[in-house]
Amino acid sequence: MITMSAELVPTSRGLPETRAENRRQVLAEAVALLPALPPADPLDRYAIRHITALWLETDKTDHTRRAYYADLSAWLGWCARTGLDPLTARRADVDAWKNTLTVTGRDGLPRPAADSTVARTLAGISSWYRYLQSNDIADRNPVSAVNRPKTGKTPPLPALGGESTAKLLNHMENRARANDTEPSWRDAAVVAILFYTGLRVSGLTTATVRDLDTDAGHTILRYTAKGGHRDFVPLVPAAQHPLRRYLDLRAARTGVRPDELTGPLLATMPHRYDSTKPGGKPLAQRDVWFLLRAQARAAGLSEANTISPHTARRTTGTLLLANDVPVQKVQDLLGHADIRTTRDRYDAHRHKLETSPVHALAQLLADARHRQS
């Protein structure tokens, strides 16, 4: 399957015009690799490859762009192998392809794709056809009538409780104080910002030093939210402290004043033995994932094997709702377009645990068993 490299898909973050032009160029080059489509026609502004590149560029985050490109590549690859023109495809063709979807397990063997993967893949292909339809390139969307697997509302990974969250934050700060090194303070800043703000990990890893700002006396972090729009979140002192110490140490290492720093807010370190890897690149989402797993284990958290960057986001929302913060304010902080997402995935999950009738049943049966003993 054709994949899109990190270099092919720069993030959409209010970039300068030169970067925007470069993004269009690399997207066009990536789309040129897709099979089953007619050759590009530079004289036709509505040629399908040009429109496909615009579809990928418009109103999508970097993560969504990669996923949609991979999904479209898989579909068009199947069309090429079966001799099908994707513009004449019908529901039966999509059903036939859907039945072949597999993923490769850790053992290297293929297995049927999970329902969530199938649903996401079909959503991506349907989005492409809708865009073609809206530009009068396709007559139909063959995905629109295809049955999509229903996926559960509750994410599989749990939130941390208040005690576990405090234990992890204390561990990160104590580790940073003991080491007093740039990477240790950076790691402490990553964990603090995630848990104190509920930011999506993509919002944090794409932030730059220049995104730190002040507003009405508050220190804020501007970031790119889901959908590509810009937003901001206040940084409380507990999150500011490790971040400021990290930036001070980074500035001293690079020989500039803290207010002269540029580049990613959270950056990779220079390689100890390889001068061709000077660091300074944005932390990747996988870096944050590995960091959380490793430090949760070091902190002795029982949840260490299931923790992920999204655990921090769920923890933020769940703890706020558990302490009677209005759901509308939590919705605004987490950037949910629909309040039902906040209520169903954060508040309803908590109530199913804490106020479930199984607790009342247990007490009733305990009383009955006690009377019989």
Which one is predicted more confidently, 335 or 214?
214
Least confident of 2-16, 286-300, 335-349: 2-16
Listed residue (286, 242, 237, 246) closest to 267, CA to CA:
246
Looking at 134, 149, 175, the residue that finishes a domain is: 134
**Which pLDDT score is estimated for 63?**
77
Write the CB contacts of 36 (distance below 8 Å, at least 6 apart in sequence): 76, 77, 79, 80, 84, 85, 86
Number of domains the chain is built from = 2
Q: Which of 67, 97, 91 is nearest to 79 (CA)?
A: 97
292 and 180 in a single domain? The answer is yes
Together in a domain, 212 and 313: yes
| Confidence at residue 128, expressed as pLDDT on a 0 to 100 scale | 97
Residue at 262: amino acid letter: T
Indicate if the pLDDT at residue 158 is higher than 60: yes
Shared domain for 40 and 117, answered yes or no, is yes
Measure the CA–CA gap between 276 and 260, rounded to whole angstroms: 24
Instruction: Look up residue 236 and give its two tokens.
Output: 């409380």
Token representation of residue 260: 């002269």
Q: Specify whether 126 is located in the same domain as 182.
A: no
Same domain? 234 vs 324: yes
**DSSP one-letter string for 217-251:** TEEEEEEEPTTS-EEEEE--HHHHHHHHHHHHHHH
**Of 23, 139, 117, 132, nearest in space to 71 by CA:** 117
Give 282's strand partners. Answer: 267
* 367 part of a folded domain: no
| pLDDT for the residue numbered 22 | 80
Residue 232 falls inside a structural domain: yes
Higher local confidence (pLDDT), 104 or 232: 232
What are the tens digits of pLDDT across the range 40-64? 888 999 999 999 999 999 988 777 8
Say which residue, 237 or 154, is predicted with more confidence. 237
- Position 355 confidence tier, pLDDT thresholds 50, 70, 90: low
pLDDT of residue 258: 95
Q: Are residues 63 and 128 part of one domain?
A: yes
Question: What is the pLDDT, as a whole number, of residue 153?
Answer: 52
* Residue 320: its H or E element: helix 309-322
Amino acid of residue 95? D
Q: What residues contact residue 232 under an 8 Å CB cut-off, 6+ apart?
A: 213, 215, 220, 221, 222, 223
Residues 103 and 194 in one domain: no
Q: What is the pLDDT of residue 363?
A: 73
Whether residue 225 sits in one domain with residue 117: no
Verify that 196 and 80 share a domain, yes or no. Answer: no
Question: Does pLDDT of 4 surpass 60?
Answer: no
pLDDT surpassing 90 at residue 249: yes
Q: What CA–CA distance (Å, rounded) separates 168 from 192?
A: 9
Domain assignment present for residue 94? The answer is yes
The verdict on 211 and 277 lying in the same domain is yes
What's the rounded Cα separation, in Å, for the pair 131 and 55?
7
User: What residue type is assigned to position 36 of the chain?
Assistant: A
- Minimum mean pLDDT among 35-44, 139-148, 151-160: which range? 151-160
pLDDT in tens, 308-344: 999 999 999 888 888 878 888 888 888 877 777 766 6
- pLDDT for 361 equals 67
Domain-embedded: residue 263: yes
Q: Residue 5: phi, psi to the nearest 5? A: -75, 165
Residue 124 sits in which domain range?
Answer: 19-134
pLDDT above 80 (res 305): yes
CATH assignment of the domain containing 251 = 1.10.443.10
**pLDDT class for 163, splitting at 50, 70, 90?**
very high
For the chain, what is the mean pLDDT?
Answer: 86
- Contact present, 49 and 31 (Cβ < 8 Å): yes
Residue 354 lies in a domain: no
Instruction: Give first-to-last CA distance, the chain, whole Å.
Output: 66
The answer to whether 343 and 184 are in contact (CB under 8 A) is no
pTM metric for this prediction: 0.64
Any domain includes 150: no
Is 25 a domain residue?
yes
361 vs 71, more confident:
71
Q: Are residues 243 and 106 in the same domain?
A: no
pLDDT at 321: 81
Residue 371 belongs to some domain of the structure: no
Instruction: Look at residue 16 and tell me whether its pLDDT is greater than 70.
Output: no
359 has a pLDDT exceeding 70: no
Taking CA 187 as the corner, what is the angle to CA 185 and CA 189, rounded to the nearest 5 degrees?
70
Q: Does the pLDDT at position 190 exceed 50?
A: yes
Tell me: do 52 and 101 sit in the same domain: yes
Q: What is the pLDDT of residue 373?
A: 65
Three-class DSSP category at 306: coil
Q: If we measure between CA atoms, which residue out of 10, 56, 11, 63 comes closest to residue 286?
A: 63
Distances (CA, A) of 175 to 32, 182, 189, 369: 49, 12, 12, 49
